[in-house]
Amino acid sequence: MISVKNLRKQFGEHVVLQDISVEVAAQEVVVIIGPSGSGKSTFLRCLNGLEKPSSGHIVIAGHELTGHKADLIEIRKQVGMVFQRFNLFHHLSVMDNITIGPIKVLGKSKAEATELAEELLRKVGIPEKANAMPDQLSGGQQQRVAIARALAMKPKVMLFDEPTSALDPEMVGEVLAVMKDLARDGMTMVVVTHEMGFAREVGDRVLFMDGGYVVEEGTPADVFDHPQQERTRAFLSKVL
């Protein structure tokens, strides 16, 4: 589903991603961990075309991101992203937040988009909030709307960049539960998170990034219980 080869990204002289090669299979859940500044967000932003790679190749669902402009537009439709900050449109209702993409970008009718949005709000557990404004919702509810909004575009891949880091602790579980359901439904997911419990339970594979490289990767048990690299051990000893 995702193939990344020799991805390099620099901002001016500052090389943020040195040389990243990663394959993600359909329906796989890959969790990325690593210290702040290691390039995790930049990597995700490259995967959905928000950042242009300095060199290397990215292919998602058969579209080469580093190729033609038409492919970039197609990839943006097929890759959903959920950020740490919920990024909802604050002047729009929950319903309008979810239907605007399908109507404006996919050309769906309002009726069709509304029906899908209702289904997605049920899926994320807040069907009664369709007419609320984002500011009337808790952080956990807003993040679930953000997930529903991304899913409304019927993406083939979902990227999550620390989706629970900005939440009060009591709301973390409800968002992780929605993500776990998505994984169980077979969504291909790349998740940057510090939630090691989620990584262990839901992740098929864990990548540890440091200094712009994937330093170590393996099953959650491999990486958490038997880290091979000193840098992984040092990181885990601080977060576990």
Q: Using CB under 6 A, list all residues that contact ligand ADP.
A: 11, 14, 16, 34, 36-42
Residue 48 sits in the site that holds Mg ion (CB under 5 A): no
Residue 102 binds which entry of Mg ion, ligand ADP, none, CB below 5-8 Å type-dependent? none
We find the least distance from the C-beta atom of residue 44 to ligand ADP, in angstroms, to be 8
Task: Report the alpha-carbon distance of residue 234 to residue 41 in Å, rounded.
Answer: 21
In the list 41, 114, 188, 193, the residue contacting Mg ion (rule: CB under 5 A) is 41
Whether the Cβ atoms of residue 18 and residue 11 lie closer than 8 Å to each other: no
Q: Which stretch binds Mg ion (CB under 5 A): 41-49, 99-107, 116-124, 230-238?
A: 41-49
Residue 36 binds which entry of ligand ADP, Mg ion, none, CB below 5-8 Å type-dependent? ligand ADP
Partnered with residue 207 across adjacent β-strands are 32, 217
In single-letter form, the type of residue at position 153 comes to M
We find the least distance from the C-beta atom of residue 33 to ligand ADP, in angstroms, to be 10
Instruction: Give 112-120's long-range contacts (Cβ < 8 A, gap of 24+).
Output: 113/152, 116/152, 117/148, 117/152, 120/148, 120/151, 120/152
Q: Kindly state the DSSP code that residue 52 receives in the 8-state scheme.
A: -
Q: Please, which residue, 40 or 129, has the CB nearer to ligand ADP?
A: 40
- Token pair of 197, please? 């419990």
Determine the 3-state secondary structure of 156 from DSSP.
Answer: coil
Q: Please, which residue, 148 or 209, has the CB nearer to ligand ADP?
A: 209
Beta sheet of 29-33, edge-to-edge order? 79-82, 157-161, 188-192, 29-33, 205-210, 213-218
Residue 164 sits in the site that holds Mg ion (CB under 5 A): no
Q: Please, which residue, 34 or 102, has the CB nearer to ligand ADP?
A: 34
Residue 186 binds which entry of Mg ion, ligand ADP, none, CB below 5-8 Å type-dependent? none
Q: Which residues bind Mg ion (CB under 5 A)?
A: 40-41
